[in-house]
Amino acid sequence: MMYKHLFYIFIGLALFVSCKSAEPVTANVEPPALSRMKSMKLEAAIVKNQPLKQIPSASGMEYVEGNYYVLGDDSPYLYQLDAQYKPVKQYTLFDSSGFKNGRIPKSDKPDLESMAHFTYGRDNILLLLGSGASTARNKGYLVNLSDKMQVQEVDFTRFYTFLKRILGSKEEGELNIEGLAMDKTYAYLLHRPFTGTNILFRVDANSFKDFLIRGGDLPAVAVYYFTLPAIGQSFAGFSGAYTLEDKLFITASVEDTSNAIDDGEVLGSFVGAIDLLAFPYASDPANPLQVPTVQLKNSDGSVFKGKAESLVVTAVDQGKKYKAVVVTDDDQGGSDLLEVELVVHQDH
């Protein structure tokens, strides 16, 4: 009988130890995507700086089937470059009668600031977006690369009014869409504030295409909040975007200006990367997520003072080394193209 009691005591102790060891670990372990984002470090080296003499105020860039397409916010044309960045052709987007002295007057221009490529059926299409900073800047254009470069104007007033409601703004100049990227799942629209937190609007890609092509319902919008570095007292703002692999690559610049319409002194530019799986951790406006970035510098180590406006990224070594082609604007009508070697260091 004594052995029987000892047996039950032994089983009870074993169960007690087993239950204690099965208790959940209380240590605060970060989600992998957030941990990757926080540990990401970037290096950048400008290996080529080429003036784009025929393109005023470059503002958006995309790469499709061996060709680069560049737009300028002071120009009525879409410019095509080959793989070696040589001019191939230019296409008229809208009435060019106001294109005086090589630039559209600020009050009249649609301020095309961003561009992205997507497919619709068998067609390759470019979407070009105005910034939404004024009524004249609520326009967008669809360019069908598969159908003789046909151009269709799209009125974004309804969509931009919706985004302004999300921002809680009512005045002109408070919405400023500067970056656009699309992948098979989402479209990403980047709002550059003149003060405060950078904001990214994410919409379902198919719903966005239906809105663009068929005039469908407004797509649902998810909102995310990010912070970027400062130079002096001025913080960087989003200026361009491109998706590749599991990252959203961005350009950002620091401009000393008090609103979304007037230009200011350019203090420097950055390239950054956002882990696409980290978006859920950027949904709190009171706790924006810091974007890993690297400042662009010239080969002699001096600060590059151009305003990086957009980029296209290709992988050299998947997950680590990339080639970034960046277009820049000097706010005087001049444009440059930078070829940048980009390295991403990331703890996994």
Q: Give me the domain span that covers residue 332.
A: 32-345
Q: Domain count for the chain, please give it.
A: 1
User: Is there a domain that residue 297 lies in?
Assistant: yes
If you write DSSP's letter for every residue of 218-270 in order, what string do you get?
A: PPPEEEEEEE--EETTEE-EEEEEEEETTEEEEEEEEEE-SSSSS--EEEEEE
> The domain spanning residue 308 has which CATH number?
2.120.10
User: Is there a domain that residue 252 lies in?
Assistant: yes
β-sheet bridge partners, residue 45: 341
Structure pTM? 0.89
User: Is there a domain that residue 4 lies in?
Assistant: no
Cα–Cα distance list, 322 to 226, 343, 344, 348 (Å): 23, 6, 8, 18
**Cα(319)–Cα(325) distance, rounded to whole angstroms?**
17
Structure tokens at 77: 């044309």
Local confidence pLDDT in tens for the 348 residues of the chain? 444 444 444 444 443 334 443 434 445 688 999 999 999 999 999 999 999 998 999 999 999 999 999 999 889 999 999 999 999 999 999 987 767 667 777 777 889 999 999 999 999 999 999 999 999 899 999 999 999 999 999 999 999 999 999 999 766 668 999 999 999 999 999 999 978 899 999 999 999 999 999 999 999 999 999 999 999 889 999 999 999 999 999 999 998 765 555 666 889 999 999 999 999 999 999 999 999 999 999 999 999 989 999 999 999 998 899 999 999 998 788 899 999 999 999 876
